[in-house]
Amino acid sequence: MTHQANPDRYNSMPYRRCGNSGLKLPAISLGLWQNFGFGSVFANAEEMCRTAFDLGITHFDLANNYGHPYNGSAEENFGKILDRGLRAYRDELCISTKAGYEMWDGPYGDKHGSRKYLIASLDQSLRRMKLDYVDIFYHHVFDPDTPMEETALELDQIVRSGKALYVGISNYNQEQTRQMQAILRELRTPFIVNQPSYSMLNRWVEDDHLDTYCKENGIGLAVFSPLYQGFLTDRYLHGIPADSRIGKGNTWIAEQLTEEMLRRLHRLNDIAQSRGQSLSQMAIAWLLHNEAVATVLVGASRPEQIVNNVGALAHLDFSPEELARIEDALR
């Protein structure tokens, strides 16, 4: 099967340099954590990937355990999507995957940063997606039980083996990032990115000064959960829809949807409307206002959400007054 990509796909998407590297990432990337693995509608997953690419989204972000409870099923489905037309555009795609959380039975597939786990996991990921290499390979979560030198040396070997072009880390705080960079800098490994959670409602990277450190030290931020599990959309402004994450009972943040939170969301929505944006569009634009952010990873359950999110790029500037109003609304 062939896919004829939109010939105008690169006309409006801005591409931002990832740290001090030569790699540019689209301002918005597609994360395949939810709705691409086991139990998902394949046709919908395929249409979301094609829609993203047609909008200039070249970066597709996966992990070995995406698709729970059938770990790896998101990568398997993405491999099939590549086979059905997108593989012809491989050199136009930036594909990333991660390893670090529980993946298979036994001591070697548990939460890990060990040499054995990382090598085995990446080999499995490449087989599932039928790729010779990924563009970025991440250690998914800091492992206090494995010496950081072991994890760093393995990330370096993965690049030297040709199985990844660049490496990154995810869910590492500033001090852990500092330690990892010191080792990888000595090894001259192309370590270019940290992937933390970050949103208007989750600003730990600012409190930790992770964003400042990364900007000053040539590391890009690829931020996930920009809409805080759907809070920063219009989904919960007028009740809890049955088909929402909270409505389905499959999210851990239902208890946070308090009256105080709803007042905050309504105030933010008013600011977004005054900017001519949806709440989700403003939330994405606000993240891209942080110069440390290379790309915002969005999730989606249908193609229309991707189109709406990309609409954030039409208005990225904020006046000082708007920023002050947002800060006041978040208090």
Express each pLDDT in 164-209 by its tens digit. 999 999 999 999 999 999 999 999 999 999 999 999 999 999 999 9
Does a structural domain hold residue 110?
yes
Mean of all residue pLDDT scores within the chain? 95
- On the question of pLDDT at 250 being above 80, the answer is no
Segment 257-311, tens digit of pLDDT: 888 999 999 999 999 999 999 999 999 999 999 999 999 999 999 999 999 999 9
Number of structural domains found in the chain: 1
Does a structural domain hold residue 107?
yes
CA 238 vs CA 130, 241, 260, 292, 304: distances in Å: 44, 9, 14, 34, 20
CATH assignment of the domain containing 208: 3.20.20.100
Does a structural domain hold residue 9?
no
Does a structural domain hold residue 196?
yes
Does a structural domain hold residue 266?
yes
Does a structural domain hold residue 273?
yes
- On the question of pLDDT at 251 being above 70, the answer is no
| CA–CA dist 309, 292 (Å, integer) | 20
Q: Which two tokens stand for residue 147?
A: 């010496």
Please state the rounded mean pLDDT for residues 45-57.
98
Does a structural domain hold residue 201?
yes
| pLDDT for the residue numbered 254 | 73
- Closest CA relative to residue 171, chosen from 197, 153, 133, 209: 197
Using an 8 Å Cβ cutoff, are 295 and 43 in contact? no
Does a structural domain hold residue 8?
no
Q: For the residues of 84-118, what is the DSSP string, one character each?
A: TTGGGGGGG-EEEEEE-S--SSSTTSSS---HHHH
Query: If DSSP codes are grouped into helix, strand and coil, which group holds residue 160?
Result: helix
pTM comes to 0.95
Segment 81-124, tens digit of pLDDT: 999 999 999 999 999 999 999 999 999 999 899 999 999 999 99
- The range of the structural domain enclosing residue 193 comes to 15-330
CA 232 vs CA 5, 98, 119, 257: distances in Å: 31, 26, 37, 11
| CA–CA dist 19, 217 (Å, integer) | 8
